[in-house]
Amino acid sequence: MPHDPDPPPAKKFKPGSVFFRLDKNKPVMLLTRKENATSPLDIQRKQLPIYQAKLQLLNQLRTLHSAILIGETGSGKTTQIPQYLYEAGIGRQGIIAITQPRRVAAISLAGRVAEEKRTQLGKLVGYTVRFEDVTSSETKLKFMTDGMLLREAMGDPLLLRYTVVVLDEAHERTVNTDVLFGVVKTAQRRRREFSKVPLKVIVMSATMDVDLFSEYFNKSPVLYLEGRQHPIQIYYTKQPQSDYLHAALVSIFQIHQEAPPSHDILVFMTGQEEIEALARTCRDIAKHLPDSCGPMVVFPLYASLPPVQQLRVFQPAPKGCRKVILSTNIAETSVTISRIKYVIDTGMVKAKRFNPGSGLEVLAVQRVSKAQAWQRAGRAGREDSGSCYRLYTEEEFDNLVPMTVPEIQRCNLAGVMLQLTALGIPDVMNFDFMSKPPPEAVHSAVEHLELLGAVEMKEDQVHLTALGKKMARFPLEPKYAKTILLSTNYFCSEEILSIVSLLSVDNVLYNPPARREEVLAARKKFISSEGDHMTLLNIYRAFKKVSGNKEWCRENFVNSRSMGLVKEVQAQLKDICLKLNLKLESCGGDTASIRRCLAHGMFINTAELQLDGTYLALDTHQPVAIHPSSCPIPGQASLCSLQRASAHLPLLYERPVFGGC
């Protein structure tokens, strides 16, 4: 049933808030003869709702050290605020950093702003994401993932290169975002204390708990940009849907049969497997539709897709053809995909939860929050009026939680605590998080790091060891960093780098259920009696031997795109090893050395075979079971495979258990 929405979730307006009314129906500008010569991009910029408030907004931002900016989806805040600041000379003496939770957003936004500034990407406007740096000494507007700014803070805690930090999509509350809030807040305070150039902080989102953010950033004023660029019609189902995938499929083809082919569809789903499965189904059905329906192209979009594949969704579909994008929540924020007229929201998302008691991280499908639902709906109104089909009832929407639980309160904090200690935070146990994580999770993380030898406790304070300093240099889980550093002792650093790179990329293998026998036959020649890690290494060596031949990949059910990403990760890790003066060498056929190194680095993830045939994790005594995809080795098991069976974790975390090492 149709429903014309109010603005996103009701906001509690703070005393002293500043409002900028943006009239979406009012013409923003009248073109004079002189202005007719302006480029189409300039015209588009002036037609954005935020342009109406440009002068008043700059007057406010010029005088404030910190500001919370709430702007409706489609108002233009993400692309325009950095340009307005630069054009007005605010922060020009340094770099203006704009952080994004996701790499695809950072890359696409940098490209758009560079286009609007008529400059080559990497000059005035650039971006930095994991494994890619497109900046130069000329770069003044720098889009980056929050993780990259955090890594820079390790070498420069005061962030002296930057004069303005724009923390965009703050409502997402990823682990890196929450840590970055504290780091930037501390840098801003310490720069004042040391009489350095002030650091201006602007926190932006379309939906957030303004009271919480304002209070955290020293009672910063809240600036509201009211008014969405284009109206969005919301539709709810009449009855609850037991199978949201089937409901999504029906909705896609109902729209496809009724809507003009120039109107594209964005579908929000939970993960790679269901996206790829639905993509195949859509393509198969589209082939058998009557010609009157027109052709359809289907693009998947999820985090583990190689960047080149992710960016395909921004390319226009062939004339007369409809584009259907099946995406995880990667497309919820910042990303503007042209021609999206319809959004289908399944109302589900995959989220991680870590249990410090069991040591297991559960990746489970759950309901979205209201804030996420509004973000998803907003994707339909970026360039024109649109429609959002929510595959749940209006009553179900009313019962959703208002905001997503921050990731910092539901994840393994070992990597976070290592990062904070490396940043020189004096009391990491009591770090100024916006939302405090559970105390037991903090203590569990510190114990984990102590066992790895990364930190030591002195007078109730956590101190980084020499080993910990080296571990912090790697953008990896602490146990993987420790394993790489140990590899030189076992003369197998080349092999360990390959294995860690394979574990750092999602789904290097694929297992179509309909071809299970073929998969087993193809995989048989690579399986090693020494465990899953050696099996993966055998596959990677074979992949390199055929120079990544795509036909070979198809025959052996290997994901060639993911393998290409493995090579990029490996090259990055090698660079870090060389900077740390680590000797890179191969052990050749001495696989025992590889297994010993893995056992010493990942000893926390071990399980013991019991007399009754079950397995118990040695650390937590959690009962675990071997996942069907693990190598069938008597007396041994891949603990990550064990975890997957009980906690539904992806292949990314697979790691063997060793007996007698």
Task: Give per-residue pLDDT as tens, 529-586.
Answer: 888 899 999 999 999 999 999 899 989 999 887 898 899 899 999 999 999 999 999 9
pLDDT at position 125 is 97
- Residue 661 banded pLDDT, cuts 50, 70, 90: very low
Q: What is the mean pLDDT of residues 398-405?
A: 90
Q: What number does CATH give the domain 232-407?
A: 3.40.50.300
Is the pLDDT higher at 474 or at 507? 474
| CA 119/CA 116 separation, integer angstroms | 8
Q: What is the mean pLDDT of residues 401-428?
A: 90
Q: What is the mean pLDDT of residues 348-355?
A: 87
- Residue 638 banded pLDDT, cuts 50, 70, 90: very low
Task: Give per-residue pLDDT as tens, 252-290.
Answer: 999 999 999 989 999 999 988 899 899 999 999 999 898
Closest CA to 314 of 128, 145, 111, 124: 111
Q: What is the mean pLDDT of residues 487-494?
A: 96
pLDDT at position 526 is 93
Would the pLDDT of 321 be above 90?
yes
| CA 264/CA 262 separation, integer angstroms | 6
CATH architecture of 45-224: 3-Layer(aba) Sandwich (3.40)
| CA 593/CA 584 separation, integer angstroms | 14
Give the mean pLDDT of the chain.
85
Would the pLDDT of 228 be above 70?
no
Task: Give per-residue pLDDT as tens, 49-98.
Answer: 888 889 999 999 999 999 999 887 677 899 999 999 999 999 889 999 99
pLDDT at position 16 is 53
pTM comes to 0.75
Full 3-state SS string of 417-470: HHHHHHCCCCCHHHCCCCCCCCHHHHHHHHHHHHHHCCEEEECCEEEECHHHHH
256-259 long-range contacts (CB < 8 A, ≥24 apart) are: 256/286, 256/289, 256/293, 256/294, 256/296, 256/322, 256/324, 257/289, 257/293, 259/322, 259/341, 259/342
- Residue 249 banded pLDDT, cuts 50, 70, 90: very high
* Domain boundary assignment for the chain: 45-224, 232-407, 412-465
Would the pLDDT of 21 be above 80?
no
Q: What is the mean pLDDT of residues 386-390?
A: 95
CATH architecture of 412-465: Orthogonal Bundle (1.10)
Q: What is the mean pLDDT of residues 121-146?
A: 93
The reply to whether domains 45-224 and 232-407 share a CATH topology is: yes
pLDDT at position 227 is 62
Would the pLDDT of 209 be above 50?
yes
8-state DSSP, 198: P
